[in-house]
Structures are given as structure tokens and as C-alpha cells.
Amino acid sequence: MRALSRTAVLLLVSLYAAVGTAATALRMSQTISVSALAGEAFAEDLSHYTGVAGANVSYQTISGPAWLSLTTKGILYGTPSLENVGLNKLYASVEYGGKTDLFLVEVDVRHPNELPTLSLRAKVGDVFLNDLSKTTGIVGRFSFENLPAWLEATQSGVLVGTPAASDIGTHQFQAFVEGTDESFTVRIEVYNQVPAVAPVTIKVGQFFSVDLVKSIGLQGRYTVYAPVFLKVSTLGVLSGTPSRLDVGSYRIWVDVRQGIKLYRYYFDLVVEN
């Protein structure tokens, strides 16, 4: 993720549109998935995930649950209660080198009586392969419940599959080892990484238009965060003509919500005189 050069105020100017989608994806900003146990102290250094750390770095909470706190150095901490069991979302920003990045942290709070959970990650389009007997140290005859459609599993505990863009999100299923008391939950986060796209550059007085529906490729409800000279139609077309007052660099944020899932995308726009 990279930054706006024209203050975070621009991110507060929001336009909304409910649209259908199809086609190729823009880059999605980072989502960090971690887990915590209800009743136990939780702490995580987010700089290990963002790769942003140092003396001139400042992390800040935008919104999130009351039990979670975030230090300016990126330490996320708190003690969840049983009331917090489930997925807790915290939106945060990190400032560094004159830049500001936004990201989402998803903290899955588990009940103390839940099965232990193994968290893994799989990238869209890449073959995912994991031998549970080597990962967990448990050897035996495995059986599974609620496997996602894109994933196959052997009785020896080998998981293999290639997730598609439609599989982005978190998939959870149960693993059992026959003849033992061993059982656990496997949670696989499917993510996508697209190489950074060069900024789109336009001139003052030049009409700009981009079809978000054809640029992202997800069904859902769209929310667009953009400067005021840009408007979005009910069909998901973002367009406008900048004036001299609009000269500068902008980061255009696009949120796509599918039920409880939220996917965040962005692209950079530069207006030149």
C-alpha cells in the first residue's frame, strides 16, 4: 500500500453505489488475520505483517472494538471476553515517510472450549499444499468435515488445492485423527496479491472515467472514497473532470461488501496542470 499526498481528509469524502461486478481485479489493500482466546491477554506486533516499523512510524486506530488497543508503534493488545467471541474487525492506519496506508485487522476470538485452530494461508491461483502430519506433528489416519470445494485431502493428512478469486476469504473445517483424541480446526485464509499498478495521470480539464464493475470482478455492494470532482453512477462508473483546484495526487479507495465479508481495493490518480 502507498499513500495520498493530499491529506487523509480526502478519504472522508465518500460516495456510495450498489452495483454488480465482473472482470479483473485491482490491487486489494492488506487484511491481517489473527486469533485470540476469550479471557486471555492478547498481543500482536502488526509491524511484522505490514513491514512498516521505525522511529518515524505512527500507527493509529480508525475504528474497532472497545477491548482492543493499538500503540503508535503497532502493538495491538487487549483481553477479549466471552461476549467478544467471533470475528472482531479493527480498521487502522500507519503513517511513515510522509505516506499513509490503511489496513484491516480481523481478530477471531475463540471460546476456551473450542477445538485448537491451525491457521494457514493460500494465494489465489497458486497450488496450496500442506502436510498436516508435518505441520502439527500428529501422525495417523485423518478424516475431515466441511472441506471447502477447492480443497482436497488425503487420509494421511495432506491438503492440496488451487483457490480461485471467488474463494477469497476465510475457509474453516475440522480435522480428526482416527483412534486418538486428536482433533482440531483448520482455518485457511485465501488472499490475492496483484503487483502495484502505476498511477493514472490526467490533466486539468480532461474527462476521466473508469468502469469499476469491469475492473474489480466481485459481486457485492460498492462504496467509493474519492475526491469531490469524481462521481459514481448506479452502474459503477466513476467519472469526472478535474479543475485547477484539484491538482495533486489521490488514492481512490473502493470497498466491496459481500455479506459479512469486506474486500478493499484502490488505485492512484494524479491530476496535473
Read off the pLDDT of residues 101-115 as tens digits, 9 standing for 90 and up: 788 888 988 877 666
Classified by CATH at the fold level, domain 117-191 comes out as Immunoglobulin-like (2.60.40)
pLDDT at 68: 94
Classify domain 31-110 by CATH number. 2.60.40.10
pLDDT at 16: 26
Read off the pLDDT of residues 226-238 as tens digits, 9 standing for 90 and up: 888 988 887 778 8
State the number of CA atoms in the 13 A half-sphere of 69 facing the CB. Answer: 6
Residue with cell 496506508: 101
pLDDT at 22: 27
For 82: left if phi > 0, alpha if psi spans -120 to 50, otherwise beta; the answer is alpha
Q: Are 42 and 105 in contact (CB under 8 A)?
A: no
State the number of CA atoms in the 13 A half-sphere of 58 facing the CB. Answer: 8
Whole-number Cα distances in Å, 61 to 3, 18, 257: 17, 27, 21
Query: Under DSSP, is residue 83 helix (H, G, I), strand (E, B) or coil?
Result: helix
pLDDT at 3: 34
Range name among 6-10, 60-64, 143-147, 221-225 with the lowest pLDDT average: 6-10
Q: How confident is the model at residue 6 (pLDDT cuts 50, 70, 90)?
A: very low
pLDDT at 27: 34
Query: How many degrees, rounded to 5, is the angle at CA 141 between CA 140 and CA 142?
Result: 110
Read off the pLDDT of residues 29-82 as tens digits, 9 standing for 90 and up: 577 888 888 888 999 888 888 878 888 889 988 888 999 999 999 999 999 998
Q: Which CATH superfamily is domain 8-26+194-272 in?
A: Immunoglobulins (2.60.40.10)
CATH 2.60.40.10 occupies which residues in the chain?
8-26+194-272, 31-110, 117-191
Residue with cell 474487525: 89
